[in-house]
Structure 1
């Protein structure tokens, strides 16, 4: 953020101003582009480190054996965590956008930079108060060890469940034999020769040839959740439709009063408001009422939350298509088809329903995803589980760009105007939204298939017991 702020402060860090009379702008130098892109890259790395880890780290503060009602406590934590994220986004699209629009980029970038610096100080001030879980070895190392060991042992026959050939050096662990799912990985924990493969301390001589049952089950849990994770990509595409609604809002009447117009980039606030209101209502009132019908203490199951979110995102795209068709027809009837900067005599508040539906979809699906991933992995993999959500969002943004590119390429064949042309009135953004609606509906049925194939998801709850027992063993050893 500091480097990005420098691009606004230092005249040499950005191209010179455009000549408004001839509409000519000087191109940026390579050093200016390098500074800008480096700031983006560093912010992306920082976000990748903060977002998944902060959520898992926060859950570690609450998910302790002394808490008898861990499931309910964690559910409330995830709800309020996401509500706080929504509140920060709402501040960003209102206060920060207003500062950038009215006060300039120096202050517009400087304020977020100062807030990040303040957050850093607060984080280190509270360091001594945090519960810090013991760090484990890299998940990627364990992943490749299991895959390689199972390949090396491919010629071995699987022993029976009660056999002592399964390698598990953690005495008393509840995971004494691997499960039957993804069985080819089970060969990674078969002991060929106890005298040669295992030390007197019960450790594997070569961890790249012999892995523990727990290691194998951890890798299996990652493999098993991938299909359901893949369903999150499409909803990430729909809820990340920020640029096009801004263009729509900019071409519509944005007056809230006679003298005040809502900035086009601030209409996302309706999405965030819906998200926050729903989280508060569900956490405080609706979950108790719904639980009477579902017979589940948390109200809706995690799969139900994710499925409802996917269906709402599809509905949001349908509404977006209908509203855009109405806006485009109004622009053409008012003679603005060739004027991309003309304002249609139509209120921009027509965009509120689609923003609200997408905010509600995110509230259901995102929180459901986070809870689901956290519950399906052991604590040693909690940050990886939560990181899957951020990874799905990132992949969704890339897929969204790919969809726009494909639509643009094929819709302008034969000399026709692209559906996603710069001029909204000449293009057909309503068709583009229908494409997303159809893809979202297909994704919803794909989710139903993945959910059915996944089966019950309460089995991995014994992970925590294993982790706690191992922690006690480590403490006793120390």
Structure 2
């Protein structure tokens, strides 16, 4: 849904309207879910001590799932668009943008991700407590009230926002370049880039927003054929046969971004371990800490990571970034690509720490020692939090800045898509490793009883994958050609 919502925003509605409509749909879903949890006729009768529990009726199931899917469609559609809509509020014309404005925009992406993680901690603790101890209806009603406040706030403050109109389909221009390239596959590209076609726009800036025009780059020169003017173009200058330099450069930009995006998808294969195998690892440890004064459930370690994500973002924005700016003498403490590189390197270190901890735990189990304490797992969660914050913030900012103007909304949606692909690949990798290592009748690396397996070997496999991915990312980052605006 983030990809679909972003495409609608970029093509038809614009970001503000898409966010407002998406959150309104989500509000309707939360109202339906709240009603399903509170109205007696919309839920099965209570079943605490009865021998027979009446199942939900078809109507009750339909109402409940209608609310759930409305929430998914609404929130999913607005999720990525909110990121780019907030970034549009800054003066980022690419040429006259001041150092202070770039600094504020970089901080925006950091605080956006930090506040989002803070909300996850709140919903996973206070709201869950209210739902379990007080009422599910109360918990859902609080969620509905918060979404209603967001919708009302956006609607009431519309005049305060910079509303950028949609600039057209993000795919149409790319398709036109590919079709024109197919028509001119045998055409020679001129040595002088000035001979390539570019529109000269004369417009009233107060009546029509100016669309950015990109400078020519020498990378992927074969795509320049789509902008070569031929005799047939002089007779019939169809946009499906003759494209502008800006359109060609937008396609080149996508060709540069896709490999970097793919490294992020591989990154999330390792990042997803903090919600899966790290938790399984924690269930095999002694959950008591501070001399037995407290007990930390293994599943709570994910909340610990989220807290560290928020803490690392606050530390970076308030202390590390200002000191780095003064030392380097520039607006950016770390560039988005450098932040992403830090995330790639840190995730390798986090999985390596997990491998060391698991090897120590297995050695203790096989020596008959007492179970390893759960506190030994904290370092891998702390490093994973630093990695998560660095890569996610860097990727959101990098893709927003570098994406073609027609794909500003879609660019941030690809962050969520890389998360999804990473989780999918992770589940497939677990299935593959369990199957291959158990071939021939052995228990394999990932048996039901982890004391009989080798989860540490699985972590070492991920260390190798993420290390190779890190090397590939460094190569792509060093050779990346940023887009240049005229």
TM range (shorter): 0.7 to 0.9
Shift of 1:350: 2.3
User: Residue 244 in 1 paired to residue 284 in 2?
Assistant: no
- Displacement of 1:209: 1.9
Q: C-alpha displacement at 1:349, in angstroms? A: 2.5
CA distance in 1, matches of 2:288, 2:271: 25
The answer on whether the counterparts of 1:150 and 1:185 sit within 8 Å (CA) in structure 2 is: yes
Q: 1:39-75 deviations in whole A, cap 9, x for unaligned?
A: 6655544444222211110011123568633211211
* Distance in 2 between residues matched to 1:74 and 1:262, nearest whole Å: 38
Q: Is the 8 A contact 2:214 2:484 kept in 1?
A: no
Distance 1:162 1:330, change over 3 A: closer
Aligned residue among 256, 260, 266 for 1:228? 260
Q: 1:196 matched to which residue of 2?
A: 235
- Which of the pair has the greater relative contact order for Cα pairs under 8 Å at 6+ separation? 2
Match of 1:62 among 90, 101, 107: 90
Q: Unpaired segments of 5 or more residues in structure 1?
A: 199-205, 336-343, 467-478
Secondary structure at 1:63's aligned position in 2?
coil
Partner Cα separation in structure 2 for residue 261 and residue 185 of structure 1? 60
What is the CA–CA distance in structure 2 between the aligned matches of 1:272 and 1:130, rounded to whole Å? 30
For the Cα contact (< 8 Å) 2:352–2:463, is it kept in 1? yes
CA distance, structure 1, for counterparts of residue 72 and residue 193 of structure 2: 48
The superposition leaves residues 74-116 of structure 1 with CA deviations (integer Å, 9 ceiling, x where unpaired) of 1111111111112112213332344455557555555444433
Q: Are the aligned partners of 2:107 and 2:317 in contact in 1 as well (CA < 8 Å)?
A: yes
Q: Distance in 2 between matches of 1:415 and 1:12?
A: 50
Where 1:322 maps in the other structure, the secondary structure is helix
Q: Distance in 1 between matches of 2:311 and 2:266?
A: 24
Any stretches of 5+ residues in structure 2 without a counterpart?
1-28, 204-210
* Alpha-carbon distance, 1:452 to partner: 2.6
User: 1:20/1:360 Cα in 2 relative to 1: closer, same or farther (>3 Å)?
Assistant: farther
The 1-side partners of 2:398 and 2:475 are apart by 17
**Hey, what does 2:351 align to over in structure 1?**
317
CA deviation after TM superposition for structure 1 residue 142, in Å: 1.3
State the partner residue of 2:395: 369
Question: Is the 1:79–1:279 Cα contact (8 Å) retained in structure 2?
Answer: yes
> Residue 139 of structure 1: SS of its match in structure 2?
coil
Counterpart Cα distance in 1 of 2:229 and 2:45: 65
Find the aligned partners of 1:188 and 1:14 in 2 and give their Cα distance. Answer: 63
1:299 and 2:338 matched: no
Q: Does 1:280 align with 2:314?
A: yes
The Cα of 1:232 is off from its aligned counterpart by 0.8
CA RMSD of superposed structures (Å): 3.7
The structure 1 residue matched to 2:373, chosen from 347, 355, 380, is 347
Other-structure match for 1:254: 287
**Cα distance in 2 for residues equivalent to 1:15 and 1:251:** 38
Matches within 5 A, 1:374-413: 374-413=400-439
> Judging changes above 3 Å, is the alpha-carbon distance between structure 1 residues 391 and 139 closer, same or farther for their aligned structure 2 residues?
same
Matching of residues 212-227 of structure 1 within 5 Å = 212-227=244-259
Please identify, of 219-228 and 62-71, the stretch whose mean Cα deviation from structure 2 is larger: 62-71
User: Contact (CA 8 Å) 1:86, 1:276: kept in 2 or not?
Assistant: yes
**Is contact 1:318–1:434 with CA below 8 Å preserved after alignment?**
yes
Q: Deviations over 1:172-211 (max 9, x none)?
A: 999587432212221222232454234xxxxxxx322222
Residues of 2 paired with 1:233 and 1:15: CA distance? 44
Deviates most, 293-302 or 249-258: 249-258
Q: How far apart, CA to CA, are the structure 2 residues paired with 1:15 and 1:169? A: 70
Partner of 1:71: 102
The 8 Å contact of residues 44 and 55 in structure 2, kept in 1 or not, is answered as no
Task: Name the counterpart of 1:270.
Answer: 304
Aligned twin of 1:476: none
For residue 291 of structure 1, report the CA deviation from its aligned partner.
3.8
Return the offset for 1:415. Answer: 1.8
Supply the distance in 2 between the matched residues of 1:207 and 1:152 (Cα, whole angstroms).
12
Partner of 2:171, secondary structure, is helix
Matched residue, 1:158: 189
